[in-house]
Structure formats: C-alpha cells, structure tokens
Amino acid sequence: MLQVAFIRENKEDVINRLAKRNIDASQMIDDVITLDEERRQLQTQLDNTLAESNSISKEIGILYKSGKAAEATSLKDKGAQLKEDSKALEEQLNLKVDTLNTVLYKIPNVPHPSVPAGNTDEDNEEVFRAGDIPTLHANAKPHWDLVKELDIIDFELGNKITGAGFPVYKGKGARLQRALIAYFLDKNTAAGYTEVQVPHLVNEASGFGTGQLPDKDGQMYHATNVEPSLYLIPTGEVPATNIYRDELLNLSQLPQSLTTYTPCFRVEAGSYGAHVRGLNRLHQFDKVEILRVEHPNRSYDALDEMVNHIKGILQELKLPYRILRLCGGDLGFTSALTYDFEVFSTAQDRWLEISSVSNFETFQSNRLKLRFKNEDGKTQLCHTLNGSALALPRVLAGIIENYQTEDGIQIPEVLIPYTGFDKI
C-alpha cells in the first residue's frame, strides 16, 4: 500500500508512474488526498475535544476539593456533552480511515523508473540470456508425452483424485521432484538464507499484508467452513513475509533473509492449448522461495544479488535461460520492479517462466507495519523483496524436455547426488 504522505508530496509523479501500468489513477489519487485531508480535520477536532474534556474533568476535581460542589455539578453537563461529541467524532474518523484504506487498497505500487512502458508480456525487455539451446533427436517430444511413456507423472490419475491441474508424481519422477527441492534449499541456505517451514494456510490479515487481498481474492482457494476463514497460499512469500508483520526491527537485524519450500495453490481460470498443457500451468505446484527484508538504501543491491543467485542455480543446471525486465502492463500489483527468469523448452519451442524476482520497496511493509529503528532512533519502513528459487513445474519440464535422449532422460550432473541415478 502506498503511503499517503508519499502520494501527497509526489502527486504528479505517482500519477505519471502509474500511467506505465496503463492506469489513469488521477481520480483515485485525488480521492486519497481529499479523504486524508478530511481525516486529518476529524483527527484535529477529536484531539481538541478530548483535550477540552480532560481539562474539564481536572477542573471538576479541583472544584469538588475546594468545596464548590455547585460549580462542579454545572460543569458535569458540559463534560458529558464533550464525551458524546468525542464518541461521535471517533466513529466518523474510523469510517473515514476505512474509506481511505479502501481506496488505497485499489492502487498498485508505483513502477521503478527503469520499468519500461508497455501493455503485455510482448513489451517486456530482455536484459540477459545464457546457455546453449540443445539440438534434440528427431523423435523428441514435449514433456506431457514423455512422462506418460515413462510413467513418472500421471495427469489422468491426478484428475481422478482431485481434478485437472493436480498431477501425481511417481517413482523416479517423484524422486527428481524431491531432488530439485533439496538442491534449491541447499543452494539458498549456503548463500545465507535461513530455512523456515511455514503454514500452508493463512488468515485474511496475512493476505492483506503481502497484497494478495483484495487484489487476487478470486485466484486463491478459500476455506470458509472455519472461523475465521483461511486461504490456501498461492506462494510461500505470503506466510514467510508475514513472519515480520507488526515487527519493529533494530538496524543491526537487517537484512533478514529467508528461504522456504511450500506447495502453492492457485485457482487460475483455465484456458486451453499447448501453453497450459502438462506442467505448464497447475492448480497445485511446489516452489522454493527466497525473500529479503532490507534497509531502503540497499534494497536494489539486494535485488541484484538475488538475480545473480538464481543465475548461478540455472547455470549449474545447464539450462538455457533469459531474464526479462517486466513492463508496466505486465508488472504485478505489489511490485516496483520485477525480473522474470524463463527457461527455453526446445521440445515446445517456447520460453517457460520459472521465476520472478521483485522489489516491493515499502508497499508490503506499509501494510504489514514492518519497520526498523534508525541510528537516530526514528522508525522507518523496511523494503521487502522476494523471488522463486525456483518454481518446480516448469524447471522440471525444461529438464525433461532439454535433457531427453532417444533412450531416456539424462539427469543434470549437479542433481545426481540428490537423485541417486543419472537417467530415467
């Protein structure tokens, strides 16, 4: 959530930067400024009324002690009226704050100046590419055919148990999946990220804290038969970042670096075609996440460090990949700057997104009330960042398709100690 003071002091800049998202935010920004002015006026009235009420209460006490009961009694009526006025003002103030927050919740983060303008993913800017695209044998196949032949991932069985988008991993397919999770976590912890295991359901406050609510309400599985209702997590970012909700950190505690493995659940209304076949789009999938809580002065250095960390993993897996800087129209609601990693699938002849690394600046921490105490003792909002390191389904698809041979699937050398075998 954007800070009201930032909006008020940078009105035109906020409107211009949000225009990169193809949003005309003029009316919403005007509404925020107007509502905040009304809120401040109500707050001043309430403060003055409470101060007068407290003053009269003290005066009544002094009059009683001085034996002036009649004068004290006459002031009681005024004191009672002031209490009623303060209660009415407090109700008006709470309503005004709720109305203001409702507008603020609808405004996405302002893009970083480096974010290119654009409408769709076709306008994203490629900033890096590495790895050789392999030449496959004549009978090469996409992963959904290969895994069926080898009986290592069963989409039909998952459909029987639950529905489309919930595959069953079997035998060496399950072992390869587990190997990737362990490998990713080991790489992350070796880089200084502390591993945490977090709940796979979160409450509404957590969803609001990281910005999934209300923006992505319809894309999250919602358990309503419990009180309060809970949401299945769309990413490990949500519970892991909410570890820091309502926290005041000391300067010496920055940065905070966490990694977590979780299953992820996304409703995502289905479409059809090769771009969503097999592992390309699922309702349940595994992901290993990294996140940082940083001092504002070095959050973009931290973003570069996270990007380089994921580069190193993909280089060890020897997968061809590229990095895109997302344009304004493709940028997530909470992000100021996002880099997408994509692996090239030779069998599908297309790029598959396997990671997003984002800096949210203060957008999440303002909602979370996540602050740190500066050297001068003043409090300041932290910057939060997160990235997939990595999302499993499309990494697995890339390995299966790019490492296929005529007699099976080779296992990337770095994963053999985790799988215990070098070929499927």
Residue 73: what pLDDT? Answer: 77
DSSP string across 56-86: HHHHHHHHHHTT-HHHHHHHHHHHHHHHHHH
Alpha carbon distance 204, 217 (integer Å):
10
Per-block mean pLDDT, blocks of 10 residues, the chain (424 long): 97 97 97 98 96 87 79 80 93 97 96 96 97 93 96 97 96 98 98 98 97 91 96 98 98 98 86 74 97 98 98 98 98 97 94 97 98 94 97 96 96 98 98
Domain that holds residue 19: 4-104
CA distances from 24 to 3, 12, 20 (A): 19, 12, 9
First to last CA, the chain: 48
pLDDT of residue 166: 96
Same domain, 290 and 179: yes
Q: Is 284 exposed, middle or buried (0-12, 13-18, 19+ CB in 10 A)?
A: middle
**Residue 175, φ and ψ in degrees, nearest 5:** -65, -40
In a domain? residue 229: yes
Last residue of a domain, one of 104, 139, 162: 104
Same domain, 35 and 179: no
**Which residue among 104, 135, 168 closes a domain?**
104
Q: What is the secondary structure of 112-139 as a DSSP string?
A: PTTSPP-SSGGG-EEEEEESPPP---TT
User: Does one domain contain both 304 and 172?
Assistant: yes
Same domain flag for 286 and 260: yes
- Domain shared by 259 and 232, yes or no: yes
The CATH number assigned to the domain holding 369 equals 3.30.930.10
H/E run at residue 153: strand 153-154
Domain count for the chain: 2
Q: Are 309 and 178 in a shared domain?
A: yes
- Domain boundary residue, one of 52, 72, 104: 104
Q: What's the pLDDT at 269?
A: 55
Residues 131, 100 within the same domain: no
40 and 188 in a single domain? The answer is no
DSSP state of 410: B
Copy the structure tokens of residue 306. Answer: 């996270």
pLDDT score at 145: 96
- Residue 28's nearest CA partner among 4, 61, 57, 60 is 4
In a domain, 336, yes or no: yes
Domain membership flag for residue 327: yes
Q: Residue 411 corresponds to which amino acid?
A: I
Domain membership flag for residue 328:
yes
Same structural domain, 196 and 345: yes
CATH of the domain at 83: 1.10.287.40
User: Within a domain: residue 143?
Assistant: yes
Q: Which residues sit opposite 405 in a β-bridge?
A: 408
Q: Is residue 114 part of a domain?
A: no
Q: What is the pTM of this model?
A: 0.92
Q: Please indicate, yes or no, if residue 295 is contained in any of the structural domains.
A: yes
Which residues neighbour 224 within 8 Å (Cβ) at sequence distance 6 or greater?
none
Same domain, yes or no, for 193 and 284? yes
Would you call 99 helix, strand, or coil by DSSP? helix
**Quick one: pLDDT at residue 264?**
97
* Residue 41 backbone zone (phi > 0: left; psi -120 to 50: alpha; other: beta): alpha
- CA separation for the pair 103, 28 (Å, rounded): 7
Question: For position 273, what pLDDT does the model report?
Answer: 56
Question: pLDDT at position 190, please?
Answer: 98
- Asked whether residue 153 falls in the same domain as residue 194, the answer is yes
> Does 115 fall in a domain?
no
- Domain identity same for 87 and 198: no
Run of H or E residues at 298: none
